[in-house]
Structure formats: C-alpha cells, structure tokens
C-alpha cells in the first residue's frame, strides 16, 4: 500500500522548504529512526522507510513537482514499470549515507536496484544542435548515442546460454559485507561491496561469450527527444532511463541532452523577447510607411508613423519566445535605424537643398563638401 501521510509532515518541513532544509530534516529523522540505532524496533524501521521515501521524492525536482500537483497519484508510473512506484521500497544505508555525506557507501555507478541487485547504469550526455525556430516553437529531434544495452544473447544475466549465475558464497547474495563499529550514535554498520562478486551478489562460472559476463554490449541507439518550446543554449533535457544499461541486468541510467541553438539571421534573443533592427530610409522615416514585416509566425503589417527617429522601438506583443513554464510568449521588439543617404545624384542633391531651404535649415553650399575639396586638390 502506498503511504497516506503527507511527505512534508513526515519530514517536519513546509511545502516551501529548500533542498538544504529537506536534507537537514532527513538527517535528524534518520539519526533517530535508523534500524542500527533501534535494533529490533519494527515500528522505527517502518518509520525510517517512510521518511527515506519522503526524502527521495522531495529531493528530486520532477518527482516533487508531480507530488505537489497530484499527491501520491502523480508519482504512479515513475517506477520501474510498477503500478505502485512504492511497492517493495525498503530504504537503506545508501540513502542515509547519501544524505549525510553526499555519496553512496557502494561507490560510483549509481544506486542499486536492491540490496543484492546489480548496480544501476551510469548516466550519459549528448549534445543536440537546434535551429532557432525549433528552439522557439519546440520540435521532436532524434539523437544517436553509442551506449551499453542489455545483451540479447544471455538476456542480460552475463552467463553463457544454458547456464545461470550462482549465489556468491562470501556475501550470501547480499552483494555487500558489513562491519560494526561504535560511534557517538551507538553501533554503526559500515557496508562495502563484496570483494568476491564485486557487489553483484552472484558469481558467473561460464561468462557469456557475446558480452564477456557483463550482461550488456555497446551499440548505437537512436532516441526521439521531445524539445519543449522556449528552450535556449545551455538548457539540458533529462531522458530518464535512456542512458547506459547497468551490468548484469541493472537498471539503465539517464541520458542528459545539452542543447545548443543556432543563431538566426534576422532576430536576436533577449530572454523571451526577440529583437530585430529595422533599417529604413530617411524619407520613409520622415513621411511614414506601412511595411509587410516577416515575423516567425508569418507576415504582419508594421506601421511607421511620420517623423519616426532612430532608436524608436515597435513592440509586437506575443510574437516572441514562449515561457518554458507557461503558455505565455514574449514580445518581438523592432528597433528602428534611420539610414542617411551617402551618395546623391545631382537631382537628389538639388531636391534636398530645396527641402532644406523650405525648412530654413542651413547646409553647406554646393562644391564645399569633402569630395569637392579632394577634387580641387588635384586640379
């Protein structure tokens, strides 16, 4: 049966508790309830399992989000295929050591599938390049990685076909050997992987020829990555259970996909806003214009009022980048740059001088410009 008590109440923290507050609360409860500090106390052992389960859930951002939104039901289906993700949970020294010291007494390779189970596979990383529009609107992208997968020849057992692993004679299948020492908390049990079986709890007399007893082989695998709308360079997506398979049937690790977004030729990104520099002739800026402006969503009419100056910003609301955590989008900011003509025909020069005279503006007389001075120097 899944637990009915509120995980926050179990740990004695508020729903706004930080990761550090949750860890401190678990440390305190674990000292009081751990079976090594309460030998023979079944109630304390069950309580320890519950607080460990609460800690395991609330320290994981995704599981915590689901729990906050839907309670226990929101976590169903997150386990290894079980209808009840809490079925068979036992909690143990690995969880306690990880909370106290930031690591597992079993060493690298990840958390085990059980006290005597094979180790979990390591995590893997891959880089994924995205076009600008794919990052803005989201896309399904494929990535291919070479990673260990379960050996089909032996069914991931590591034993040659027709044979099977046997229980380790040194640890009795526990996968670990323990030593007891006295501490300020009383008797403390230290566990380390069994030196004979390497912590697997089983020994293989006849290794599989395809995987050499590992229970896994390396080969390319292709995954479809659902990229959400609004991602940016530096974001990382976690594909749970898509990493390397663990040895001899161990659970797979996770695959972390690091995103890199290619730049766009017209738009720059500022948070969830898009920015574009619109170059406009001085005549259009002075007299006003109606432009067909191409956004990422399609063309829109942009009205430039008469007399618009360089630096003026036109805001197209909701035409920017979606927020990752909501359906809202940023804006498209069009910054006006008024271009002054640099090369004039005689007719254009005459018209501009007539305009200046009409407006009473002082300008250099004809023939006094820089080009005229350079020509005069060579006469």
Model pLDDT for residues 110-153, shown as the tens digit of each residue: 444 444 567 889 999 999 999 999 999 999 999 999 999 999 99
The lowest-confidence range among 79-93, 198-212, 258-272, 344-358 is 79-93
Name the nearest CA neighbour of 124 among 147, 156, 151, 149.
Answer: 147
Same domain, 124 and 139: yes
Q: What average pLDDT does this structure show over 241-268?
A: 93
3-state class (DSSP) for residue 370: helix
Residues of the chain above pLDDT 90, percent: 48
Domain-located, residue 195: no
Do 15 and 151 belong together in one domain?
Answer: no
| pLDDT score for 132 | 97
Residues 160, 258 within the same domain: yes
Q: What is the pLDDT of residues 270-288, one digit of tens each?
A: 999 999 999 999 999 999 9
Q: Is residue 379 part of a domain?
A: no
Whole-number pLDDT of residue 154: 92
Same-domain check for residues 18 and 50 = yes
The per-residue pLDDT for 83 is 44
If one counts the domains in the chain, the total is 3
Q: Report yes or no: 57 and 46 within 8 Å, Cβ to Cβ.
A: no
DSSP 293-362: EEETTEEEEEEE-TT--TT-EEEETT-SPBPTTSS-B--EEEEEEEEPP-S--HHHHHHHHHHHHHHT--
Do residues 123 and 258 share a domain? Answer: yes
Same domain assignment for residues 126 and 230: yes
Question: How high is the pLDDT of residue 263?
Answer: 96
Q: Name every residue whose Cβ is closer than 8 Å to that of residue 220 and which is 6 or more positions away in sequence.
A: 144, 145, 146
Residue 337, domain member (yes or no): yes
Q: Domain boundary at 74, 103, 132, which?
A: 103
Looking at 70, 103, 136, which one is the last position of a domain?
103
**For residues 109 and 369, which has the higher predicted lDDT (pLDDT)?**
369
In a domain, 187, yes or no: no
Say what the pLDDT of residue 305 is.
97
Domain span including residue 117: 113-165+204-262
pLDDT at 353: 92
Mean pLDDT of 354-360: 90
Residues 253 and 225 reside in one and the same domain = yes
Whether 181 maps to a domain, the answer reads no
Residues 123 and 248 in one domain: yes
Residues 51 and 97 in one domain: yes
- CA separation (Å) from 274 to 39, 142, 309? 63, 27, 21
Across the chain, mean pLDDT equals: 83
91 or 39, which is more confident? 39
The pTM score is 0.61
Domain stops at, among 262, 279, 305: 262
Q: Note whether 272 and 255 are same-domain residues.
A: no
For residues 139 and 241, state if they share a domain. yes
> 183 in a domain, yes or no?
no
Residue 244 forms part of a structural domain: yes
Residues 137 and 223 in one domain: yes
CATH number, domain containing residue 58? 1.10.287.110
Tokens of 119: 């180790």
Query: Is residue 190, in this structure, part of any structural domain at all?
Result: no
Least confident of 36-40, 244-248, 263-267, 306-310: 36-40
Is 59 or 209 the better-scoring residue by pLDDT? 209
Which CATH number covers residue 325?
A: 2.60.260.20
């Amino acid at each position: 049966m899944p637990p009915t008590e509120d995980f926050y109440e179990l740990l004695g923290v508020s729903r706004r508790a930080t990761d550090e507050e949750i860890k401190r609360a678990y440390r305190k409860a674990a000292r009081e309830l751990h079976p090594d500090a309460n030998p023979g106390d079944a109630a304390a052992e069950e309580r320890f399992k519950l607080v460990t389960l609460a800690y395991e859930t609330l320290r994981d951002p995704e599981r915590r989000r689901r729990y906050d939104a839907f309670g226990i039901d929101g976590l169903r289906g997150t386990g290894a295929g079980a209808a009840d993700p809490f079925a068979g949970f036992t909690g143990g020294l690995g969880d306690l050591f990880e909370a106290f010291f930031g690591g597992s007494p079993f060493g690298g390779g990840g958390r085990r599938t059980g006290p005597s189970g094979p180790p979990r596979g390591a995590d893997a990383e891959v880089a994924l390049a995205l076009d600008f529009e794919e990052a803005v609107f989201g896309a399904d992208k494929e990535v291919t990685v070479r990673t260990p997968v379960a050996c089909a020849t032996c069914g991931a057992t590591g034993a040659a076909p027709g044979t099977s692993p046997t229980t380790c004679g040194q640890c009795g299948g526990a996968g670990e050997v323990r030593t007891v020492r006295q501490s300020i908390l009383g008797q403390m049990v230290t566990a380390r992987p069994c030196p004979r079986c390497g912590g697997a709890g089983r020994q293989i007399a006849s290794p599989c020829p395809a995987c050499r007893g590992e229970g896994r082989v390396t080969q390319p695998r292709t995954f479809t990555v659902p990229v959400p709308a609004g991602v940016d360079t530096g974001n990382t997506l976690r594909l749970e259970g898509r990493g390397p398979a663990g040895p001899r049937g161990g659970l797979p690790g996770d695959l972390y996909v690091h995103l890199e977004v290619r730049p766009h030729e017209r738009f720059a990104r500022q948070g969830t806003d898009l920015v574009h520099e619109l170059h406009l002739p001085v005549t259009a800026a002075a007299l006003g214009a109606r432009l067909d402006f191409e956004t990422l969503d399609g063309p829109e009419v942009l009205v430039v009022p008469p007399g618009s100056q360089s630096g003026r910003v036109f805001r197209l609301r909701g035409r920017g980048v979606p927020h990752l955590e909501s359906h809202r989008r940023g804006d498209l900011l069009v910054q006006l740059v008024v271009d002054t003509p640099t090369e004039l025909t005689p007719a254009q020069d005459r018209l501009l001088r007539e305009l200046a005279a009409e407006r009473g503006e002082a300008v250099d007389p004809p023939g006094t410009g820089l080009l005229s001075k350079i020509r005069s120097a060579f006469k």
